[in-house]
Amino acid sequence: MTATGSVSEIGYTSMLTRDLAASMKNSADMFGLIETESNGKKAFFTAQNKHHEVVYTQSDQDALDHIGLVVSNSAELEAIRAKVDREAYQIVSEQPIEDHIEEGFAFVGPEGYTWQIYTEKLNYSMLKRGTLTADRLGHVNIQVTNAPTQVKFLQDVFNMSISDAIGDQHFFLRCNTDHHGVAVFTDREAKMHHHAWQAGNIMDLARLGDRLARKGGRLAWGPVRHGAGDNIAVYYVEPNGVVTEYYCDMETIRDPERPVRHFDPDDLYWINQWDGQVPPGILDFGVPPVKR
Ligand SMILES: [Fe+2]
């Protein structure tokens, strides 16, 4: 196995919340994830046979603690570590930050985002089942002030590939056959705008809309079919201010040489094929990376 430093999938996000109870209620009751563990200060949720795909920790701030990226073996881990050391990024932890991870390390990349790189145990036995609708965590959308620098980092350190580019403002990068695992949007400040979960089909998106409506919530946007990625998506805002995307029908890319697709940033087809509109303020949500 040649070490390349490739990330195989988006593992999880770990967020700080000022209201853990509200975030837990959101994950379990609103979105329908499985709670695998909680201790009053921290709670772990997943949509599949893993220990966690999202973690919430009680805090005095709403923020993104880190993003977890899975590598397939120790050689890939070491290859990324070598690049991180070469570029002298700040190491936050020589051990996995979260429990239930076999090996890994964490470091701070451009614009203050902390990345936890790790190999994971498979076939975690779930303690209980929720009213699950999502298949898995699929991607994160991070907003930055310097998108080209962030994109170069994701390409160089994690071997991610650009799938689509919206001028030089927004970029969609993949680490596997999903059209994107990380979307990088240019904005006024660094913040993770959303974490996105894959659904089976558009009726699952409808069921989330129904569930929110019954429980006093509201979708913030959608259903919409994006241009970049082709996914159909709905969005809603969580208690800590981050946005959850629930999507299906995303483009699958099997050709590693697929050319970058370019979209005109002035034509909102790239973000909304069906009606070319974006609700005012929807891109203002999100949680900033925690300062280290
Ligand atoms: Fe997304």
Residue 2's pLDDT is 67
Tell me, in angstroms, the distance from the centre of ligand 1 to residue 227's CA: 11
Query: What number of other Cβ atoms are within 10 A of residue 114's Cβ?
Result: 22
Tell me, in angstroms, the distance from the centre of ligand 1 to residue 92's CA: 27
Tell me, in angstroms, the distance from the centre of ligand 1 to residue 170's CA: 12
Tell me, in angstroms, the distance from the centre of ligand 1 to residue 80's CA: 25
Residue 67's pLDDT is 98
Dist CA 170 CA 10 (whole Å): 19
Dihedral sign for Cα 247, 251, 252, 257, please.
negative
Tell me, in angstroms, the distance from the centre of ligand 1 to residue 167's CA: 18
Dist CA 198 CA 193 (whole Å): 17
151: nearest Cα among 292, 260, 70: 260
Dist CA 205 CA 291 (whole Å): 34
Tell me, in angstroms, the distance from the centre of ligand 1 to residue 180's CA: 8
Tell me, in angstroms, the distance from the centre of ligand 1 to residue 16's CA: 20
Residue 48's pLDDT is 85
Residue 212's pLDDT is 92
Dist CA 77 CA 101 (whole Å): 13
Residue 123's pLDDT is 56
Domains of the chain and CATH, by start: 9-120 (3.10.180.10), 136-284 (3.10.180.10)
Tell me, in angstroms, the distance from the centre of ligand 1 to residue 133's CA: 17
Entry pTM: 0.91
Q: Tens digit of pLDDT per residue, the chain (292 long)?
A: 567 889 999 999 999 999 999 999 999 999 999 998 999 999 999 998 888 999 999 999 999 999 999 999 999 999 999 999 999 999 999 988 887 787 999 999 999 999 999 998 765 555 445 565 799 999 999 999 999 999 999 999 999 999 999 999 999 999 999 999 999 999 999 999 999 999 999 999 999 999 999 889 999 999 999 999 999 999 999 999 999 999 999 999 999 999 999 999 999 999 999 999 999 999 999 999 999 9
Residue 80: in which H helix or E strand, if any? helix 74-86
Name, in order, each residue with C-beta under 8 angstroms of 137's C-beta and a sequence gap of 6 or more: 10, 11, 12, 13, 47, 53, 54, 195, 196, 197, 198
Tell me, in angstroms, the distance from the centre of ligand 1 to residue 1's CA: 32
Tell me, in angstroms, the distance from the centre of ligand 1 to residue 85's CA: 30
Tell me, in angstroms, the distance from the centre of ligand 1 to residue 37's CA: 26
Residue 112's pLDDT is 98
Distances 115 to 69, 175, 201, 248 between C-alpha atoms, Å: 7, 15, 30, 26
Dist CA 284 CA 286 (whole Å): 7
